[in-house]
Amino acid sequence: MLADLHIHTTFSDGINTPEAIVRQAVAAGLSAIAITDHDNVRGCDRAMAYVRDEKIPLKVLRGVEIDTNYKGKDVHVLGYHFSETEPALRQAMAWNRSQRVDRAQRITEKIHSLGYDITFQEVLAEAAGSRSLGRPHIARLLVKKGFFPDVKAVFDTLIGKGKPCYLRQVKLPPREAAALIHQAGGIAVLAHPAEIEDPALVEEILDSTPFDGMEVWHPSVLQESPRHDWLAVARSHHLIPSGGSDLHGNPGRFPSRLGEFPVRYEDVAGIIESGQSCRE
């Protein structure tokens, strides 16, 4: 049995609609998925409604990925099984989304000043339907206009961390995001620790944040050399192991479809089943 607890849709910076994700998950033989869009749950609502209305035999977990910042590093916090109506959590997500708009506008202006003919209106059009603007939308526009071969090339040249048009976003600290998820009755999971690229800092974050789980299986570990034993880290901190593909579907970024980065259901059953006592 397979599962995938980290998936993005068109409601953040992915290219697949929630309904398409559900159909792909069934086709790929997955038993459980979580939609974890950035800073909003609209895509998750849609996927949950779709499996319910169409009576599709797939478990869809309530999920979200919240951007936070710890000592200047981007730290992503995944939430599962929370109540999406909790006001403080909703407010924090709305604040993050407004920071995203502001930052995307400033990044677009920087790119424009380097001589690339793009406008913020075009970025907004590229992100039409999304609730959460992100750098991949800017990257997709630049690819569409023929400036770059794929999204990855845009990150590597212009908007990845340390590149000329990169801008930091004002974000909450991880412990605040975890507290908001807890307040909403959910569990908080540290996303892709390998992307932090500093195992000592990850330890510090784990020691200072009341996480319930940690994402042990994620495509970012494939790039690590040497490979870090994240499962051992999770165990030593008494964290429930989680895993997912972080599928966006943006061209040039692995994976390109569900099932390409398989995660075993039994490995992440602790996360899936921790919600069984929660409301439906």
For residue 17, is it left (φ>0), alpha (ψ between -120 and 50) or beta?
A: beta
What are the residues binding Fe ion (CB under 5 A)?
A: 65, 76, 191, 246
13 vs 126, beta carbon nearer Fe ion: 13
Which among 47-55, 116-124, 133-141, 232-240 is the span making contact with ligand AMP, rule CB under 6 A? 133-141
- Under the binding rule (CB under 6 A), the answer on residue 13 touching ligand AMP is yes
Helical H segments across the chain, by residue range = 18-27, 42-53, 87-113, 120-126, 135-144, 151-154, 174-183, 199-208, 230-236, 269-273
**What CA–CA distance (Å, rounded) separates 164 from 179?**
34
Of 122, 253, 274, 278, the one binding ligand AMP (CB under 6 A) is: 253
**Binding flag, residue 151, ligand AMP (CB under 6 A):** yes
Per-residue binder mask for Zn ion (CB under 5 A), 13-52, x = binder: x---------------------------------------
Name the residue nearer to Fe ion (CB basis): 126 or 246. 246
Minimum gap (Å) between residue 121 Cβ and Fe ion? 26
Find which of Fe ion, ligand AMP, Zn ion, none residue 77 binds, CB within 5 to 8 Å per kind. none
Strands 2-7 and 30-35: parallel
Given candidates 160, 185, 199, 270, which one binds ligand AMP under the rule CB under 6 A?
160
Omega prior to 226 cis, within 30 of 0:
yes
Interface with ligand AMP (CB under 6 A), residue total 12
Which one of Zn ion, Fe ion, ligand AMP, none is in contact with 152 (Cβ closer than 5 to 8 A by kind)? ligand AMP
- Residues linked to residue 187 through DSSP beta bridges, in sequence order: 80
Judged by phi (left if over 0) then psi (alpha if -120 to 50, else beta), residue 104 lies in alpha
Q: Which is nearer to Zn ion, 13 or 126 (CB)?
A: 13
Q: Tokens 């042990």 sit at which residue?
A: 216
- Residue 160 or residue 262: which is nearer to ligand AMP going by CB? 160
DSSP label of 193: G
φ and ψ at 48, to 5 degrees? -65, -40
What's the closest the beta carbon of residue 15 comes to Zn ion, in angstroms? Answer: 11
Among the candidate windows 9-17, 52-60, 124-132, 265-273, which touches Zn ion by CB under 5 A? 9-17
182 alpha carbon, distance to own chain's centre:
18
Contact footprint for Zn ion (CB under 5 A):
13
